[in-house]
Amino acid sequence: MAKKKTAKVFKYTAVFTPEKSGYSVTIPALVGCISEGDTFEKALKNIKEAAELYLEDLKESEIPEEKTPIVVSPVSIRL
């Protein structure tokens, strides 16, 4: 009987930025991994696909882990 390969699940923070025509989205821990979508749901689907392709290109020993949480906060700048 063949051994069943179990999938390893990696968790990353995705940052969504509203744009005029939908959302752009990046994963800071995966440098250069970026996508977009007309809706939030489409952008989420697209970034998952982009991250999967990104990680498939790496050797398992090279896959980055998100070690510290991403903090997103508005910043006020007075001029």
Residue 78 included in any domain: no
| Inside any domain, residue 76 | no
Structurally, the chain folds into a number of domains equal to: 1
Q: What is the mean pLDDT of residues 18-46?
A: 96
Domain limits for position 39: 15-59
50 occurs within a structural domain: yes
Output the CA torsion sign for 39, 55, 10, 8: positive
Q: Are 46 and 35 in contact (CB under 8 A)?
A: yes
Global pTM reads 0.79
* 33-48 confidence digits (pLDDT tens): 999 999 999 999 999 9
